[in-house]
Amino acid sequence: MQRIIDAVRGGARLEAEQALELALGCDVHTLGELGGAARARRHGRKAFYVYNQHLNYTNICANACRFCAFSKRAGDQGAYTHTPEQAAALVAQRADEPIREVHIVGGLNPDLPYEYYLELVSRVKAARPGLRVKAFTAVEVAYLAGRYGRTRARVLEELRAAGLDALPGGGAEVFSPALRQRLCPEKLPGKDWLEIHALAHGMGLRTNCTLLFGHVETWADRVEHLAALRELQDRTGGFLCFIPLQYQPGNNELGAPGTDGQDYLKMIALSRLFLDNVPHIKAYWAFSGIKPAQLALAAGADDFDGTLIEEKVGHAAGASSPKGLTVARLREAIEQAGFTPVERDTFFEAVQDRKFRCNSGLRPMLPV
């Protein structure tokens, strides 16, 4: 163990076996110190955030993932679908706010025509021309290709022509075929998720990547997943950010207890150490909660995500965090953790064209 720790401190690349040994045998304090040192070498005391808005266009879904509390069937109480006009209106109504990015994902709704998705992107883009649209997981891209008889590459090209700027990282869950059969048997295999992101990278579309952890997987499953992401990043360099997503145990049929604080911090730290070719690690406060996300900044994460406006997926499963934060509260949380807040855009470029105004007159997103 000490040899591995010394090698990490010396900048050596972790092998998968070494990463697993660290995860299983290294205490959270030492692992957190290693992860924090690795993030400091890259980003110093900077901690990024983005003024963004989440937009879930439908919760009707043909899949039935065991861990999901967000999806509905058509006709269920609470099922909904926004028209492209309604989705654009949700963005346009906040035109007085300097939102940089809209994050668009939804269920696999079999009643929507293919043209709906192109119009959704184009109308949102037209409503806020300066906005970056990060939309549609690899699961959604594969679904559109299969249902409407297009290649995955064509779907990506047509979405990009409509205004798509980047892909989110959702739908990766955990790549283990055995676990996917247990967790989400209807969802595309992990190798297909990787293939779609490779296609996107080849077209110049940057993407994020994720891992859903803290349910029924093992550390070996986690490391195997990280290794697949690192291998793809070695080939394409297209991933912007890795987001470890904590399983939310409420209101779903999986029944797993969820993770704890130590496990979360070890996951953050190991991700920073092992994914040495992925520029950013996100502390997704909407899933973890504010205080664990603050600690994660010291353990290896450098991104605090953003305002969100209204996060729905994790909160449907019982997440206890706020559904949105003001910019002032985001910056305060970062500063309380001892870091320097830096506003960014979708591609992690620092926003330079305005100063933060604590009393800007902008209405708050939601109570915090």
What tens digit of pLDDT does each residue of 108-122 get? 999 999 999 999 999
Return d(Cα 295, Cα 293) in angstroms, integer: 5
Is the pLDDT reported for residue 19 higher than 50? Answer: yes
Q: What is the pLDDT of residues 154-166, one digit of tens each?
A: 999 999 999 999 9
Q: What is the pLDDT of residue 314?
A: 40
Residue 321 burial (CB < 10 Å; 0-12/13-18/19+)?
A: buried
> How far from chain centre, in Å, is Cα 67?
16
- The residue among 316 and 46 whose pLDDT is bigger is 46
What percent of the chain shows pLDDT beyond 70?
A: 89
Residue 170's SS3 state is coil
Q: What is the pLDDT of residue 310?
A: 53
Q: What is the pLDDT of residue 95?
A: 85
* Planar angle of CA 286, 288, 289, nearest 5 degrees: 70
Residue length, the chain?
Answer: 368
Is the pLDDT reported for residue 251 higher than 80? Answer: no
Q: What is the pLDDT of residue 365?
A: 31
What percent of the chain shows pLDDT beyond 90?
A: 76
Q: What is the pLDDT of residue 304?
A: 95
Q: What is the pLDDT of residues 58-110, one digit of tens each?
A: 999 987 666 666 668 888 888 999 999 999 999 999 888 899 999 999 999 99
Is the pLDDT reported for residue 355 higher than 60? Answer: no
Is the pLDDT reported for residue 132 higher than 50? Answer: yes
Return d(Cα 323, Cα 77) in angstroms, integer: 21
Half-sphere exposure of 102 (CA within 13 A, CB side): 29
* Planar angle of CA 42, 47, 51, nearest 5 degrees: 130
- Using a CB cutoff of 8 Å and minimum separation of 24, what contacts does 249-255 make? 249/317, 249/318, 250/69, 250/317, 250/318, 250/319, 251/69, 251/316, 251/317, 251/318, 252/66, 252/67, 252/68, 252/69, 252/317, 253/66, 254/66, 254/67, 254/183, 254/215, 254/216
- The residue among 77 and 352 whose pLDDT is bigger is 77
Q: What is the pLDDT of residues 177-220, one digit of tens each?
A: 999 998 888 889 999 999 999 999 999 999 999 999 999 999 99
Mean pLDDT on 28-41: 98
Residue 111 burial (CB < 10 Å; 0-12/13-18/19+)?
A: exposed
pTM assigned to the model: 0.90
Q: What is the pLDDT of residue 322?
A: 59
User: Per CATH, is 2-343 categorized as 3.40.50.10490?
Assistant: no
Q: What is the pLDDT of residue 362?
A: 30
Q: Residues with Cβ < 8 Å from 178, sequence gap 6 or more?
A: none
Domain boundaries, the chain: 2-343
Q: What is the pLDDT of residues 255-276, one digit of tens each?
A: 788 889 999 999 999 999 999 9
Is the pLDDT reported for residue 363 higher than 50? Answer: no
Return d(Cα 153, Cα 82) in angstroms, integer: 26
Return d(Cα 212, Cα 284) in angstroms, integer: 12
Mean pLDDT of the chain: 89
> How far from chain centre, in Å, is Cα 261?
19
